[in-house]
């Protein structure tokens, strides 16, 4: 009787809560991947390095802040997978593996790590309120981008443009003021989303 009961239980469908959670995760990951694509293909500001200033980093960091480290990274990985498969959703409406030969390759490949680190560092936001919560989110975004996206970008510039460290850093510094603004905006948007949808903050993962 015990074996029959066990076999019957094993054959039952997963609980509705579990199915709902998976469905929600897929929907959120897909939505933020699409949002990153939209921000990427919006007209950017050209620079002498060949790496334009776009809203990509805003969307990448926002994904981590809102979704958490795992789902945020998965959203960015989905975006990269679609773009590398050939869909023109990278900056300047480009796509395909050819983008990995460009000076921007280091920034692009570091995006999932940026979203993951920002999401991880933003964890204390759940225990903060008001301006303190915005500060946690903003700090998480800044450190998440500085320690991953900018580091990856500098390495990419050194490899693709055959530059020394100093020259690559000098190019990367151009992007810092804009990134500070984008991180502040990402923190503000995340804070607004958490106020409107408290479950997003409670269920970050």
Residues 6+ apart with CB under 8 A from 40: 54, 55, 56, 59, 79, 89, 90, 91
Q: What is the mean pLDDT of residues 16-36?
A: 82
What confidence tier does 11 reach under pLDDT thresholds 50, 70, 90? very low
Tally of residues, the chain: 205
pLDDT at 15 > cutoff 80: no
Tokens of 77: 């990985």
Q: The pTM is what? A: 0.87
> Is pLDDT at 77 greater than 80 in this prediction?
yes
From 51, 52, 27, 57, select the one nearest 39 (Cα to Cα).
Answer: 57
Percent of the chain with pLDDT over 70: 90
pLDDT of residue 9 exceeding 90:
no
pLDDT of the residue at 13:
46
């Amino acid at each position: 009787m015990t074996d029959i009961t066990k076999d019957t239980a094993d054959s039952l469908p997963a609980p509705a809560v579990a199915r709902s959670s998976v469905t929600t995760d897929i929907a959120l990951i897909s939505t933020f991947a699409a949002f990153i694509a939209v921000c990427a293909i919006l007209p950017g500001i050209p620079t002498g390095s060949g790496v334009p200033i776009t809203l990509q980093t805003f969307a990448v960091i926002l994904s981590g802040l809102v979704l958490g480290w795992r789902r945020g990274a998965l959203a960015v990985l989905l975006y990269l997978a679609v773009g590398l498969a050939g869909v023109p959703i990278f900056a300047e409406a480009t796509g395909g593996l050819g983008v990995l030969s460009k000076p921007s390759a280091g920034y692009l490949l570091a995006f999932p790590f940026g979203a993951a680190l920002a999401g991880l560092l933003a964890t204390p936001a759940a225990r903060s309120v008001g301006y303190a919560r915005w500060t946690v989110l903003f700090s998480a975004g800044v450190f998440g981008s500085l320690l991953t996206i900018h580091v990856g970008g500098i390495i990419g510039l050194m490899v693709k443009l055959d530059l020394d460290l100093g020259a690559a850093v000098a190019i990367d510094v151009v992007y810092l003021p804009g990134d500070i603004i984008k991180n502040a905006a990402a923190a503000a948007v995340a804070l607004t989303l958490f106020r409107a949808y408290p479950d997003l903050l409670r269920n970050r993962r």
